[in-house]
A and B are shown apart, each in its own frame.
Chain A
Amino acid sequence: MPSNTVITMDKNKLRDQLKKEENHESRRDFLKTSSILTAIAVAPGAVAKAAEYNLGEKINAAFETTPVSLTVNGVKKQLAIEPRSTLLDVLREQLDLTGTKKGCDYGQCGACTVHVNGQRVLSCLSLAVMQEGKQVTTIEGLAKGDELHPMQQAFIKHDGFQCGYCTPGQIMSGIACINEGHAESKEDIKEFMSGNICRCGAYPNIIKAIQEVKNGGQKS
């Protein structure tokens, strides 16, 4: 069962993107294009249709994609995904959902925690191409309009952060921790939140926030 490989980016779009990089139109666009070029540099290999597009095969390799449909924060998305892309990179770079943070990118810090089918997982170690048909919830999907999720409110109330970089991951993890039934005691919370590192050391306040939401009986 080989995957359906399609080439979605046409020559003009690629030219535009490369031109954008030359002009450094925005920092995000610049970083985005640069990372594409880095990928090209380390990813040689023959790619179909290279001749047709009259592009170097190395450039074409970066755009060999597989169609994937998934639901992100309740919205169905049809995406063309390069098999090497992680869910984290697709959320941030393709869907502009930059609330989910890239910390270590190696599964050691928990900053990239999202919910997939209601379970907390590390988006940096999840290949996006493997999320076909899944329901993904990110930090952006928690609030209902202007009304924050109880866990978001509790983090603000208890000052559960300092720099804030780990916070989206902590909040996603904290909600799951309660739903799993692993927030019965302070010790329980410490153990089952150990996959979320906070370099500012806001742990005592993070625990207070989770305890408050747990005691309030709120679920997801």
Chain B
Amino acid sequence: MIQFQFERASTVKVAIEALANNANAKFIAGGTNLVDLMKRNVMAPTKLVDINTVPLKDIQQQNGKTIIGALALNSQVADDKLILEKHPLLSKALNAGASAQIRNMATVGGNMMQRTRCSYFYDTALPCNKRQPGTGCGALEGLNRMHAIFGTSEQCIAVHPSDMCVALVALDANVVVAGPKGERRIPFEEFHRLPGSQPEKDNTLQNNELIISVEIPDNGFSKNTHYFKVRDRASYAFALVSVAAALNMDGKVIKEARLAMGGVAHKPWRLKEAEKSLVGKPATEETFKQAAEIAMQGAKAYKYNAFKLKLGPNVIVEALKNAAGLV
């Protein structure tokens, strides 16, 4: 780890100012990913700004939306009464991620900002366009079992590793960020980006902006939800494929549906066409299989991840069956 300057900021304003004029400065909250990356020299910020005393930990209900402070801990959100009552899908996704210890440290904002776990990104001896633009993508023709099947580019096929973000994109959340010119809102689906020709950019946050909160609008998805994560061991591993499913049911008919996948793209992957196909249909395995087929259109596998083409639709069907109470 290289040396860095350490500062503490206790207000949003001071935090944003502390990052001004230094592209190599980073905020640190839980540190569960950043400290790991700094130890490995994958990231080497010259200045860390500790934002843990900025008052952004609250979870509250206001004007038809649930507002989650960016510094709320993953465990705090997962166990929160309001979240369990109104957005159980988010709680399920959070508990599927990391370990109890890490969830006690990791924040909502930090979870969104975590980097890919692509092994080529993590190994500084190997090429990686995300870590070092222009060096090439080691995964493209390398060991790409964990990698993306949607929205890839010739420059990068890494996936975003978060579970929480898969639930938040399905729930139509908005991200509130603050910068020198004030606050702005980013729809969750537009927060993370596809790699394109700039895989070094994970998201659309500007260098001098701080995530303030995540807002989830009220919805009809408090009853029929499921987060299904398939991984190499039963717990504490990143997703091969995960699916967040939420249904708003009118008897046995689907009134409204939300569907998103993790472990398949450079961003949490919302499946809007598949959602549309579910509306007005009876909640049956047949309906779910048709939606899964639509969801997988455009998927493209690489040498070692072709299994995701089959695993993906199976996980979608199982998640929907669980959400509908058919299992």
Contacts and interface: CB of A to CB of B under 8 A. Distances in A.
B36 A195 contact: no
Most chain B CB neighbours (cut-off 10 Å) among A105, A125, A193: A125
Nearest to B14: A1
Interface residues of A, number: 39
Interface stretch (A48-56, A92-100, A115-123): A115-123
Contact of A45 (B2, B40, B52): B2
A134 to B, nearest CB: 10
A61 interface: yes
B219 interface: no
Interface stretch (A12-20, A28-36, A176-184, A212-220): A176-184
Most chain A CB neighbours (cut-off 10 Å) among B1, B75, B101, B234: B101
A129 B49 CA distance: 12
Contact of B8 (A1, A106, A120): A1
A192 B234 CA distance: 11
B2 A42 contact: yes
Interface string B39-75: 1100000001010100000000000000000000001
Given A1-B8, A130-B50, A122 B32 contact: yes
A121 B101 contact: yes
A120 B104 contact: yes
B235 A61 contact: no
B100 A192 contact: yes
Contact of B105 (A45, A126, A176): A126
A206 to B, nearest CB: 14
Contact of A107 (B2, B4, B14, B36): B36
Contacts of A23: none
B8 A3 contact: yes
The 10 residue pairs across chains A and B that have the minimum distance between CB atoms: A195-B99, A194-B235, A194-B236, A83-B6, A119-B104, A45-B3, A125-B35, A195-B101, A122-B101, A192-B100
Interface of A: 1-3, 42-43, 45, 61, 64, 66, 83-84, 86, 105-107, 110, 113, 119-122, 125-127, 129-130, 132, 173, 176-177, 180, 182, 190-196
